[in-house]
Amino acid sequence: MAKAAHPHAVWWLAFFCFIEASFFPIPPHPLLGLMCLAEPGRAMRFGLIATLASVAGGLFGYAIGWGLYDTVGEWLLGIIGLTDSFPVAACYLNEYDWEAIILAGATPVPFKLLTITAGFVGMNLVTFVLASLVGRGMIFFTVGVLFQLFGAPIKVFIEKYLGLVTAAFVLLVVGGILAITQFTSDDEGEAGPCANVTSLEQVRGIG
């Protein structure tokens, strides 16, 4: 809330969106929402800034996965608790390519997990950028539109039920991680192509 009222709030928004896409565990959506609430007329501009900064941060995450995984990437994933999800994420990127990036960009699936993994598996850079723009744009512009249209009621709701909103978001994040690790390929309950991927050696073999 303090950063939303800061004279340089736009720069704070860009900064948090950038680092969240590559290594920072706290999402920038609350800051974006408060800024849109304070200045509804600039909500679309804030959404654009958040999207572009997040994609730039995604490129930084991609660079970490591509050239610094062994020295930096593995350590970062361990710090934010995503080490076990990394092999599965790599497998899904190889299986579904841009669709996995859009899913991570537009849902509570940790985007940083996919950006680092995309670099590690050598995903096509143009495809990565375009998919990131779509996925991140979907969620950030949605926040902007909601706060622009329903600013006052949303403010009252957040002030009254902040604890519940936070808990719900945490559950969504956990659900997003589980969606990646437990996804199955068909309605018959057969394991998906990535269900048994559990090690870094298997990931290197996939590429």
More confident site: 173 or 43: 43
C-alpha span between 183 and 87 (Å, rounded): 14
More confident site: 182 or 113: 113
Q: Is the pLDDT of residue 143 over 80?
A: no
Would you give the DSSP letter of residue 71?
I
Q: Is the pLDDT of residue 28 over 90?
A: no
Beta strands in the chain (DSSP E): none
Alpha carbon distances (Å) from 170 to 18, 104, 127: 21, 15, 29
Q: Does any domain span residue 4?
A: no
Q: Does any domain span residue 3?
A: no
C-alpha span between 27 and 73 (Å, rounded): 19
Q: Tell me which H or E stretch contains 167.
A: helix 125-182
C-alpha span between 166 and 21 (Å, rounded): 20
Q: Does any domain span residue 2?
A: no
Structural domain range at position 190? 9-206
Q: What is the mean pLDDT of the chain?
A: 76
Tens digits of residue pLDDT in 144-201? 777 777 766 666 666 566 556 556 655 665 565 555 555 444 444 444 566 666 665 6
Over range 120-144, report the average pLDDT.
87
Q: Does any domain span residue 100?
A: yes
Q: Does any domain span residue 36?
A: yes
Q: Does any domain span residue 107?
A: yes
C-beta separation of 32 from 83 below 8 A: no
More confident site: 91 or 152: 91
Residue 41 CB: number of other CB atoms within 10 A?
A: 8
* pTM, two decimal places: 0.74
C-alpha span between 10 and 135 (Å, rounded): 21
Structural Rg of the chain based on CA atoms = 17
The total of structural domains in the chain comes to 1
* Distance spanning both ends of the chain, measured CA to CA: 43
Q: Does any domain span residue 175?
A: yes
